[in-house]
Amino acid sequence: MENLFAKNTLVVNQKFTVLNNQYQVLDAEGKEIGFIQEKSSLGRTLLQFIVSKKMLPFELNILDESKNVIASITKGVTFFMAKITVKNSKGVEIAKIAQKFSLKPKFEITDMQGNKIAAIEGDWFAWDFHITDSKGTEIGTVSKKWGGLVKEIFTDSDKYVVNISDSLTEENQRIAVLSTAVVIDMILKEQNN
């Protein structure tokens, strides 16, 4: 079994579901190599009908192809700018992703000591994001792919291509960069719904 975090190009494909978010993780050749699945509770499901979804907490598990949890992404209740925690397979916190106040979509990844790992900045349409390290060097991109007019109008399903530079070798940082694609979808989509 290959480690999906070792891949430089990943496709995160949202599957259309009514109650919780699910994503396929594909390699560059289109082979399914993992999944991302939201853990949903009855309380959260009911609350999403009466409270803005962007305020609600979420927890997503990143699973390998054997459905073993290899990382998780969590957000607490949010009133303004979202803060997300990324954990490894042992449940140890390895990074934070914070939404930043800006006209364009912007996030920052830090390690658990608060050291900046990367900045993520999107275009006006929140379709293309550039990820730079603390020195300003590009270490990755996240791009939303157009699904066609019918799909874009009638579903909330999105597809993101994540490219990670060979220069980013530390696995925890690669986990955080992959997590960014889901965070972008969950945070920006929930704000627009």
Q: What domains can be seen in the chain, in order of their start residue?
A: 4-192 (2.40.160.200)
Structure tokens belonging to residue 156: 């909330």
d(CA 183, CA 168): 20
Q: What is the DSSP-derived secondary structure letter of residue 95?
A: E
pTM score, two decimals?
A: 0.84
How much is the pLDDT for 1? 42
- Of the pLDDT bands very low, low, confident and very high (cuts 50, 70, 90), residue 175 is very high
Structure tokens belonging to residue 158: 């999105």
What mean pLDDT is predicted for residues 107-122? Answer: 94
pLDDT digits (tens, 9 = 90+) for 63-85: 998 999 999 999 988 888 999 99
Contacts of 167 (CB under 8 A, 6+ apart): 137, 139
Q: How many residues does the chain have?
A: 193
How much is the pLDDT for 135? 92
Instruction: Assess whether pLDDT exceeds 80 at residue 2.
Output: no
How much is the pLDDT for 152? 40
Residue 191, classified by CB atoms within 10 Å of its CB into exposed (0-12), middle (13-18) or buried (19+), is middle
Instruction: Assess whether pLDDT exceeds 80 at residue 51.
Output: no
Instruction: Assess whether pLDDT exceeds 70 at residue 52.
Output: no
DSSP letter string, 119-162? EEEE-TTS-EEEEEETTS-EEEEEEEEP--HHHHHH----EEEE
- Of the pLDDT bands very low, low, confident and very high (cuts 50, 70, 90), residue 150 is very low
Write down the mean pLDDT value for the chain.
85
